[in-house]
Structure 1
């Protein structure tokens, strides 16, 4: 797993686009965090209702199904931007310079192609569940309390589309670094070594103190 990563900023168009997209990613990450909190509240309500009132929360599993895309999908792009997603650094740590940027460009481009296909597929799933003429615009619903499924399904292509935008920016950033031979390109996560991570954490503690 990647450690703490830094993303450099400057006045370039790439950096401005990166910062603009980051605002959307932060908003989505906040929504994901609130969804996790709501999931905990629902769990307490369900367990407490069963334990003390012999009446668990109706449709608990249905609500979990609705919240899962919020938790699992919306914050992925934010993690990708900061380099805090799951990644294998054992091989990458041995690379530097143009070889590193070439490797990052190739792998990021492959992921971008995969995500474009997933956007197309997830939109198809949403389209099958949505109907303007159906009750609650839904052709499908959850098993227990009949919640419409399309709101959860549309979150997947939305979250993946934001991730595609992030991957496009990073692919361009890596390609630019590879062509120009940049040591510290903007708009891409620069994974720090253990010493740099420790220094950054110490600075954060000092600033908070």
Structure 2
């Protein structure tokens, strides 16, 4: 495999790792947010509308920023009726073909997400809740997560092609 492609794979893996490790710690922020919301309701009889919605935004960030990290670790769900019996090269060939569908899906998702984020920035879109926070920040985070997942998918595709050809991409 050419050196520029190896460097691309390493750079994308590093980006996915760092962003994924950041996203992992969002779970503690979400837990604290929900704990504060529950305690304030029980102890002080006070309800903060914005806490639950901000936690939902954090959950979106958690899933989308952690998606590439999950793919990098290979911890996504896979249906393996036949897969485990195949050779490494056959697995890599099938994965390289099927990941093309994922890449197409992510390109379309990024296109739609980008236009939605652009709209939110241009017109100052707000949520339709009582709190009505601006939607642009979470839509931008969504686009970043989708873009990193797209980069990780292309890196995974290159690794699979290298494995299918009998080379090592690492």
Query: 1:116 matched to which residue of 2?
Result: 107
| Matching residue within 9, 24, 28 for 2:15 | 24
TM-score normalised by structure 1 residue count: 0.73
> What's the offset of the Cα at 1:12?
4.5
RMSD: 2.2
Q: Give 1:53-132 correspondences, 5 Å limit.
A: 53-131=44-122
Work out the CA distance in 2 between the residues paired with 1:24 and 1:121.
23
Contact 2:103 2:153 in 1 (8 A): yes
Q: Which runs of 5+ in 1 are unaligned?
A: 1-10, 188-209
TM-score, normalization by structure 2: 0.88
Structure ID, larger Rg: 1
Pairs aligned (count):
170
Deviation of 1:13 (Å): 4.0
2:134 to 127, 139, 148: 148
Q: Which has the higher helix share?
A: 2
CA distance in 1, matches of 2:157, 2:14: 20
Shift of residue 157, structure 1, vs aligned partner: 1.5
Confirm or deny: 8 A CA contact 2:127 2:133 kept in the other structure: yes
1:3-34 superposed Cα distances (whole Å, 9 cap, x missing partner): xxxxxxxx954443322222221222233223
d(CA) in 2 for partners of 1:20, 1:92: 29
Shift of 1:142: 4.7
Contact 1:31 1:70 in 2 (8 A): no
